[in-house]
Amino acid sequence: MEEIRKFARYFAPYKWHVVSGILCIFFGMLFGLYVPYLIGGAIDDIKIGLYNDSLTLGRVSLHVGLILGVSLVSAFFLFWQRRLLINASRHIEYDMRRDFYAALVDQPLEFFQNNRVGDLMARATNDLGAVRQIVGPMILYSCQAIFALLIVLPIMLNVSVRLTLLMLIPMPLVSLTVKYLGEQVHIRFEKIQEYFSGITARAQENLSGVRVVRAYAQEAAEIEKFQELNREYAAQNLRLVKFSAATRPLLFFFIGLGFVIIVAVGVPMAVRGEITAGDFTAFILYLQRMIWYLIALGYVVNLYQRGTASLKRFNAILETVPTIRDDETARDQPPIRGRIEFRNLSFAYNGKPVLENIDLTIEQGRTVAFVGKTGSGKSTLVTLVPRLLDAPENSLFIDGIPVRHYRLAQLRRAIGFVPQETFLFSDSIAENIAFGVDRDKEGEKGRKGDGETDSSAIDQSEIRNPKSEIQMSEIVRAAEIAGLASDIEEFEYKYEQRVGERGITLSGGQKQRTAIARAVMRDPRILILDDSLSAVDTYTEEKILRGLRDVRENRTTLIVSHRISTIRDADLICVLHDGRIIERGTHDELLAGGGEYAALYERQLLEEELEATN
């Protein structure tokens, strides 16, 4: 019930749709269940007419017309009940999927390291589909069953108390069947959803890593592993089918048992004249309706068990509080200029110290580079600035203000970040370069407050096309600065060339340059390049660096690199070792110092000479 209580907040924007739908169910049932009564009355009237020879065509036509008219009114309400409730279920599904996506986007990096993408995809699709059934079909059929009981039971009691009580004999068996099988469905459906998540995750990993699978000739092995998961998933579904399939036959049997009792007792009563033929016919028709609604009630229990199992998995994500979020002290600050201070900063990741006692001030508009061995903490240090990882309190300041006092939206709008692992969207090159420009908005369209949403329909025209707002010349300029423009001109569709899944059609260097162009296009106050030139040759690197010199002017730039050529023009170079800054200075100062930086420089010169001679 706790899961349903949390789920109920999604009904608020559509409460009138749901209420109107339930009213339509009531009136539809009222008119629909009036039909057996009319049929019974028609039979008795026709019987009397035949007996006293007073039956006419007009009299029969009146009964037929009345039955058809009431049936049409019932059909009208049937149409609207389905339209209102099913529409509401689709809107609620949309709201839930939107909230689910928003919850995922807000999560920090470690969340995605601990949760498989395939599992999250399964929750966003298969689980939400099961939850939607609670809103539409479950409400529809359960209300029909309840109204049928409230309307039909008094009518049946009025026809014959004895027959009605006999009809209730199998009901305890029906209730026990529904309860036991419903519990089994719930348990097994939870397991099925977990297996479905595993299959989705496996498929996603293999499709994303298709190059590795092919390079190591593991196609057959991966197919066999997928087949094992698929077989187990099918086996779990077959176990569920046994219980789901048993529900309806058992209900038919127990309700049919009641039907047999009614016929066995009712026919002699009609013969003896204790009830009329029309009343007995109406009673049988009502019993048939009750059979259908009781079977539907079993289906409702099935839907409820499936839906609550999926709702539990859905809520587990929504209730995961992001570890990196706006603090209570966060508020809109003056526009960021770009002065960065690390004050005695120490940072541990999963209990392992990564950075120790970092004291560094980077003035606005300066370029600072970080070098050092792999694992020395370079990337971690620059990742703290946009709060992709959270620095300890009062250890990182921007423009003299603790970084946690900034709202995340304001902080990250001012930063252009090019990470080590380049990610491109399966879209055109122009779309990838323009990604993130003028798209950041605090809040979310359609959200008015906690738990309150805009109930208007989705308007696809509101989905923004960046090229309609950003001059193509700016995209071209960003590509030129990143040294990508000449490569783009060789593509068949130029800037409209689609890059494929994760940019699979581009080389490693082209992907890195696209990411650099994306950051440049953002026009940030702080530019962070985390080893973003590792996949390009020295000629292209020099070309990119020339383009970036103008971009870096009047903006703070942090560069992480293993290449001395990338950072030699930086205003300050910091050498990290085991999470500490062991050297700092300009390129010439560090060479003159003869320390770790000078040794690194000598090694790289020797490597370049060896490559030149080979």
CA dist 418 and 516 (Å) reads 6
Is residue 389 one of the residues assigned to a domain? yes
Question: Residue 580's beta-bridge partner residues?
Answer: 577
The pLDDT, as a whole number, for residue 182 is 66
Domain count along the chain = 3
Instruction: Output DSSP code: residue 561.
Output: -
Write out the residue range of the structural domain in which residue 338 sits. 331-414+524-614
Cβ(323)–Cβ(110) below 8 Å: yes
420 inside domain: no
- The strand pair at 367-372 and 556-560 is best described as parallel
Same domain, 109 and 232: yes
User: Hey, is 553 helix, strand or coil?
Assistant: coil
Ranges in the chain, pLDDT < 50: 440-466
Q: Is 309 domain-assigned?
A: yes
Amino acid at 200: T
Give the pLDDT score at 3: 66
Joined tokens for residue 171: 């009901």
Q: How far apart are CA 179 and CA 433, in angstroms?
A: 57
Q: Examine the domain organization and report whether 186 and 264 are in the same domain.
A: yes
Give the pLDDT confidence of 339-384 residue by residue, as tens digits: 999 999 999 887 788 899 989 999 988 889 898 888 888 888 998 9
DSSP E strands in 403-547: the ranges are: 415-418, 447-449, 452-453, 526-530
**Helix, strand or coil for residue 311?**
helix
494 shares its domain with 533: no
| Statement to judge: residues 305 and 355 lie in one domain | no
Residue count of the chain:
614
Please check whether residue 445 lies inside any domain of the structure. Answer: no
> Hey, which residues does 576 pair with through a beta bridge?
372, 581
pLDDT value of residue 449: 37
Residues 352 and 286 in one domain: no
Q: 124: which residues sit within 8 A by CB, 6+ positions away?
A: 97, 100, 101
Are both 213 and 137 inside the same structural domain? yes
**pLDDT tens digit string along 116-144?**
777 777 777 778 877 887 777 888 888 88
Q: Are residues 509 and 530 in the same domain?
A: no
Output Rg (C-alpha) for the chain, integer angstroms.
35
Buried b (16+ CB within 10 A) or exposed e, 219-254: eeebeeeeeebeeebeebbeebeebbeebeebbeeb
Q: For the chain, what percentages of helix, strand and coil (3-state, to nearest 5) are there?
A: 65, 10, 25
Take residue 8 and report the two structure tokens written for it: 């109920």
- Residue 334 DSSP SS3: coil
Using the 8-state DSSP alphabet, how is residue 13 labeled? G
H/E element holding 490?
A: none
Are 337 and 309 in the same domain? no
Buried b (16+ CB within 10 A) or exposed e, 35-60: bbbbbbbbbbbbeeeeeeeeeeeeee
Burial 80-98 (b: 16+ CB within 10 A, else e): bbbebbbebbebbbbbbbb
Q: Is 605 a domain residue?
A: yes
The contacts of residue 236 (CB under 8 Å, 6+ apart) are: 188, 191, 192, 195
What is residue 323's predicted lDDT score, i.e. its pLDDT?
78
CATH of the domain at 181: 1.20.1560.10
Q: Which residues lie closer than 8 Å to 109 by C-beta, 6 or more apart?
A: 388, 389
179 and 222 in a single domain? The answer is yes
Residue 476 included in any domain: yes
Domain limit, last residue, from 269, 296, 318: 318
Do residues 49 and 29 share a domain?
yes
Query: Would residue 343 be called left, alpha or beta, if left means φ above 0 and alpha means ψ between -120 and 50 degrees?
Result: beta
Q: What are the E-state strand segments in 363-487?
A: 367-372, 396-398, 401-402, 415-418, 447-449, 452-453
What's the start-to-end Cα distance of the chain, in Å?
73
Give how far Cα 383 sits from Cα of 415, 568, 572, Å: 11, 22, 19
Residue at 456 is within a domain: no
The residue from 286, 318, 350 where one domain ends is 318
| Statement to judge: residues 263 and 299 lie in one domain | yes
511 and 599 share one domain? no
* Dist. CA 412–CA 599, nearest whole Å: 36
Question: 3-class SS at 554?
Answer: coil
CATH number of the domain within which 585 lies:
3.40.50.300
Q: What is the pLDDT of residues 198-230, one digit of tens each?
A: 777 777 667 666 667 666 677 777 777 778 878
Q: Among residues 261, 283, 318, which one ends one of the domains?
A: 318
Structure tokens at 147: 């109204």
Residue 455 belongs to a domain: no
